[in-house]
Amino acid sequence: MATEKYTPRLKTEYVSRIRSVMKEKFAYTNEMQVPKLDKIVLNMGIGEAVADSKKATAALKDLTAIAGQKAVA
């Protein structure tokens, strides 16, 4: 088993690079003033998939490819 805890790629990018840029750009004096990232939600409207399950399956496959993790219907 892996002993390291998994950290999402975007969260690592946010902590390592984006927070410092935001702090500098908006002149935050305290680390607690910088907005933090809680959750990222990807949504896909597939109204025509009601009649055809192949379209729903294709949409889930596409969303899985975009997100990098299994999509939930």
pLDDT digits 0-9 by tens, 23-66? 999 999 998 999 987 888 888 888 877 788 888 888 889 988 98
CB 63, CB 44: distance < 8 Å: yes
pLDDT value for 2: 62
Cβ contacts of 19 within 8 Å, gap of 6 or more: 34
Which residues form the domain of 64?
Answer: 41-73
Rounded-to-integer distance, Cα 19 and Cα 13, Å: 9
CB 19, CB 34: distance < 8 Å: yes
Residues 12 and 31 both lie in one domain? yes
pLDDT value for 20: 93
Rounded-to-integer distance, Cα 37 and Cα 11, Å: 7
pTM confidence score: 0.52
CA 51 and chain centroid, separation: 29
Q: Domain total for the chain?
A: 2
CA 48 and chain centroid, separation: 25
pLDDT value for 32: 92
Residues 45 and 73 both lie in one domain? yes
pLDDT value for 1: 57
Residues 33 and 54 both lie in one domain? no
